[in-house]
Structure 1
């Protein structure tokens, strides 16, 4: 299944809908207020938010730094699952939104394929060929005082919106213009008309990993000006109050800036083995085995908030170049450098400047052509308020844990959730897998979570010093989970096997699932045709 994510800046806003800040899930929100835009009976805050969920290895920083997001308007983002829901209306390729109704599951499950109706046969065949998208995408929203996520049902079912929480928002997808209109319970209308779009490129290799510095020209579906543009984010363009007061948002799309995402990778391994009762017999290689690598990379047509106009004045957002994200062409991706707040007459009321450096990765990974960006993540160091005469006030000062020792963006030393676990010997993404029920074991990567807190907190906010001189320090501890079921309750233990041969002894050490009283027999042949047999019994249970 292909998964396409929005740009880092859009994703930083969407994360709040996916992971609300509260003490139940162990996260705490840090906010730096900038300004409040007053409407008839609501307030639109402009502020910086920090989300303390940790740093995933594949996280790129937003335009205000790793872990931070600027709340100034809003966005609806989309995570593509399989195919783009909103793309394709022809018979050759149809997104989930425009596709026909799914076949009745009782008809499908109670009959074999050839006894199904011709409609069901055609539908399942088109799905199998990838011509019909059968899984809905996940949408995230964050604007004003609302955040959450939802899925959009098929048009043939009435374009219903299923939200993860009850609220009074009415969400309408306007297919003709590819925009959104959201109306809240007070009658405020939110128009999301500014689109950030991407082109998706993918590559599949059997038996060899995809190089981390692969450029889009090396991907399977690379066609200049030929790949369809997928809308991944819709930014808030205007708010219209019940009294018809308008707040408008202007975005910078020129000059055209095209940033590149990291390569998102997945692996599949298939093998076949004959198993008889409690005995596993292996002769040479398995009769069928292959290892497949799949990767995707997105070319993002960047969108940056430039100005907000409202009845009492305006807010201007200025940017400068950044050096931690790959890009295409000559114009670099941008970071927010300054916010200027003006009154209705254009007089400057105050400014905010943003000071940055970079988180760095100390790694022995292979040097690649794009390693300059792969070893850097944008780091927000301070936020400084300036008066109308440019006189600086005391700043917000931000410190982080292990800022010069973050993991390499493409390391395979990650746990099941994508966080760094320090297992640098991993050379695959596939985890070690044990299936005791059939006595099957795959020796793969150690994807377990690291129990040492110093690895998990790298790059996280350690303290904030306020303009008043006060200071808050942050201590973190790991999440825990218990009550493992099924195969997950088994652990690996190293085992060594000794066998006699005609010329001496043969020793082999490897990991094996320790399960209840299992007899295993290995048979093989040396290159010089000397045969050996190994036979042992395991009688321990974990």
Structure 2
């Protein structure tokens, strides 16, 4: 017997996802006969259970953020991986206005999928929405308003935008976002009259289809493998508004008015269908009700210059405030059903989200509390328990919904027999000091900060409008507001963000943050260090203190003096002294003269305060340094370091991040910052409502409280992006570093109005180069990347920007009133990466070039790579769309695009090797591989593997390798796992004989038989399994040989039996970990034990 003692360790994994090309597997170029082997259909023998849940820590260097990924469940159904993970995204910090998800603040449940929508203007699915509305008026392609060519065109254009203004038609498309199975993106619906094109921001080979263009829309997305994803469960939102600020942050009517304009804001993934038309996964949901946080927006017009007054004098101030909140029909994931079982999601009520008034308990806001994995026979396999509490849990006020936020404290796994694994637990910065969701102490980007508040005269609440200095007439005028400076220290903005993760091992990972930074004009900052303190605050304090300086230097003196009682001494009375070593008074201090910075010579000095029992009197002496800075805070946080610690708090591994343009000193921030444009000046008009075009006009300063322009067109998810990031390994930064450089382009075009979106190129954020340095700052290797734009489309739209100062239907058709802008769809690809290695003054370079020659399937068609001997190796790929045959055309119709049906390799442009994967439509309608072949001359092909038949689920049921006899399979557990592997027998005969054996044992189907034997723990179950193998042996031809397998569908193999009916049994504990391996007599062959140790 073998005995294995496995020490459980938690692996710290730091993964930076650059893009798929950076992870390219070079073995794709190797000559190999390692095609499909029959034995590979059978899963390998189970190994020891996972060594504790691995937490992936993915750092987004470009934005300075990090993401935690805690895998909970990982199963598979008909080729589709079904994962249930918890994701935490640091997202540059927590914004006060954010509501927590049903997991907790900052956390999301990553499973299934959803299409969400941001409505711009009108609902695209309602009458007059952008896709169905008439085309835009004539416009300039550069997004400037061109003067109408004719009076008829002017009239037509005016009528069009009047309808936009009164919400009869829509001039801009909604924005749709998809997120499913690791695929994310954004798209827009084009005009029906222009071909009903869907514009995907980052072009891929996903096929997105709108199945029903109604209020109850339905979607289908097909991937390049032919899997179809259906999104048909809608989340409905009702909007409520109030044209004023609010002081009470709760309730709906009568405080808010219902707009009676319900819209679908999201569509959840209902089912996944495999390429053979079989449902692989189903998702079930339940609904609830909640109220969103209240969004408040202010826009103020201040008159700078009065122009014409034909329609009367315009007001000196126009002030508009709107408050909005939404009534949300929440969609909660209830169950995932797949071919090996199901996953149930259990909820309980939460206290931090405001319920809709008068809703019943089942409809009130919910949190996810438990995830349960069930087998096919509805037996519990695993329980995941979420332990949650609340940020500000000690809050005792009346406004709990404004202060409480759901907090995930820990996640633990409980096995089928009640075994409980130690939990993952989480700690957060200042969890009891979170601000109200409605605090006005937020910086330009919406993060918590601290600055002097201001209430504009005539208003009742603290303003978020900026202070602006500009000319009013000929006089420089200050329009008072607030300077929403970011938190430069981090004490405010860190609140609520995750600080550490503790693991079942006892170890933990700690996260250190710092504030984002940007370049600024150089400025000096005084750095002081205390050298002496004369303290007269009480009778026991030292009223004298001495200090010495070596070399002449500046010393700063600072007096603190204030009364304890009501009596006051004269402000000019001397209360402290500075003396030299000869006891000569060099400086005296009083309340009216408390500070001084003196240039002192080398020597010894004394400071003294006059003790007064009615006063606190302290004099400080400090050295002075003047340091020049070229940086300032830019709002939000970035990750500074990630440390992996043992249970004894010993640092095992540490990564540190520097975001400057130099790795060590004298660097400057490499960031680009998207600044909120919250004020501008423009001419505004006011018309008489008599169709005479009579108007008045004036120049106004326009200020808004909005925090940031909406980010569109491949924008990063952060307002700060970094061109250079240096990643250091080791606690002391002495183990070398890696330098990442990114394309950091900023917005393509910027409008002055904050309501307008910012548009970015897809090249933004792509990796430019990576450099690797050793601990002596010597460059070891450099990788460089080049990209090319292969396609670019624009969906033109317009936004009606008529000033709020005028309520008439008239407007000027000019840049100020109309803004055209583009919704961009681009296809960028990597076309080359170069690698240069440096060794003792020598350098070796090689490259790899990539070609994408089909703009429809968008798959890699050729790779050319250099070799060290100066040869070039080319690899050419062809796909079904590249070969015109009826079968491949049918595959393309089904959107099965990705199979490489032919691969050709060339050395220096001369072909030397070919591979083919031939497809066939089998009699049962399944399209799959018919044979794998290779050739050395492109004419004579050798067949490596021939697939003779498949079942209706696309599982191979018979195949042969080369000229060998066939190997056949019978699949069970809803045709998800191979039960019998037989050699030298046809698939049809094997299936027939297996079914006969099952029936003779008293079972109608193979799956009924497999359900009866369960996990083969009992003696009667093992006897039935033994008899099944004996019957099958009697029924199959004598020249055949077979193996059989039984499974626990979630855990793995529970039995393997050879041709002589000798079995090996695998036993698992309640957490699904391999525990014992026994022979057919019950003797223990291997034992696995699990200890948590780090």
Deviation at 1:363, TM superposition (A): 9.2
Please say if 1:75 is aligned against 2:110.
no
Aligned residue number for residue 246 of structure 1? 280
Q: What whole-Å deviation, never above 9, does each CA across 1:219-278 have from its counterpart, x for those lacking one?
A: 56437xxx232100111000111132420000012xxx32001111100111213399xx
Q: Retained in 2: the 8 A contact 1:84–1:95?
A: yes
Q: 1:95 to 1:129 in 2, by over 3 A?
A: same
The alignment partner of 1:217 has SS state of: coil
Q: Are residues 1:201 and 2:222 paired? A: no
Report the equivalent of 2:355.
327
Partner in structure 1 of residue 391 of structure 2: 359
Q: How does 1:252-263 map to 2 (within 5 A)?
A: 252-253=286-287, 257-263=288-294
The 1-side partners of 2:190 and 2:478 are apart by 41
Contact 1:201/1:219 (8 A) holds in 2: no
Contact kept, 8 Å, 1:362 with 1:408, in 2: the verdict is no
Aligned equivalents of 2:501, 2:353: Cα separation in 1: 26
TM value normalised by structure 1: 0.76
Q: Is there any run of 5+ residues in structure 1 with no aligned partner, and where?
A: 1-19, 277-285, 485-542
State the 1:100 CA deviation. 1.5
Q: 2:466 aligns with which of 425, 428, 431?
A: 431
Q: Comparing 154-163 with 341-350, which one deviates more in the overlay?
A: 154-163
State the alpha-carbon separation in 1 of the partners of residues 172 and 485 from structure 2. Answer: 29
User: Alpha carbon RMSD of aligned pairs, Å?
Assistant: 2.7
Residues 161 and 76 (structure 1), Cα distance of their counterparts in 2 relative to 1, 3 Å cut: same
Q: What SS does the aligned partner of 2:118 have?
A: strand
The answer to whether structure 1 residue 343 and structure 2 residue 343 are counterparts is no
Q: Out of 377, 384, 404, which is 1:376 matched to?
A: 404
Deviation at 1:387, TM superposition (A): 0.6
Matched, 1:180 2:219: yes
After TM superposition, the structure 1 = structure 2 runs for residues 149-228 of structure 1, keeping only pairs within 5 Å, are 149-174=186-211, 175-176=213-214, 177-205=216-244, 209-213=245-249, 215-218=251-254, 221-222=257-258, 227-228=260-261
| Alignment pair present for 1:266 and 2:297 | yes
The alignment partner of 2:60 has SS state of: coil
- In structure 2, relative to structure 1, the CA distance for the partners of 1:363 and 1:138 (3 Å cut) is farther
The answer (yes or no) to whether the contact 2:238–2:258 under 8 Å persists in 1 is: no
Q: Distance in 2 between matches of 1:211 and 1:431?
A: 21
Residue 157 of structure 1 deviates from its aligned partner by 2.8
Distance of 1:287 and 1:229 partners within structure 2: 36
- Deviation of 1:436 (Å): 7.0
| 1:392 pairs with 2:400 | no
Rounded Cα–Cα distance in structure 2 between residues aligned with 1:289 and 1:405: 38
Q: Contact 1:362 / 1:407 at 8 angstroms: preserved in 2?
A: no
Moved more, 141-150 or 116-125: 116-125
SS in 1 for 2:391: strand
Q: Which has the larger radius of gyration?
A: 2
More strand by share: 2
Distance 1:219 1:151 in 2: 35
Q: 1:112 to 1:459 in 2, by over 3 A?
A: farther
Q: In structure 1, what is the equivalent of residue 515 of structure 2? A: 478
Counterpart residue number, 1:28? 66
- Report the Cα offset of residue 39 of structure 1: 3.5
Residue 66 of structure 1 deviates from its aligned partner by: 0.4
C-alpha distance in 2, partners of 1:299/1:204?
18
- What residue is the counterpart of 1:109 in the other structure? 146
Does the CA contact (< 8 Å) of 2:236 and 2:266 recur in 1? yes
Indicate the larger mover: 309-318 or 468-477: 468-477
Alignment pair present for 1:460 and 2:482: no
Which residue is equivalent to 2:1044?
none
Select 2:130's aligned residue among 96, 109, 112: 96
- Distance in structure 1 (CA, Å) of the matches to 2:136 and 2:168: 14
- Residue of structure 2 in register with 1:529 after alignment: none
Match of 2:265 in 1: 232
Q: How many corresponding residue pairs?
A: 439
Partner of 1:62: 101
- Distance change in 2, residues 1:424/1:85 (3 Å): farther
Shift of 1:288: 1.7
Aligned equivalent of 1:49, options 80, 87, 110: 87
Report what 1:518 is aligned to: none
Is the 8 Å Cα contact of residues 32 and 49 (structure 1) preserved in structure 2? yes
CA contact (8 A) 2:466 2:482 kept: yes
Preserved contact between residue 55 and residue 67 of structure 1 (Cα < 8 Å): yes
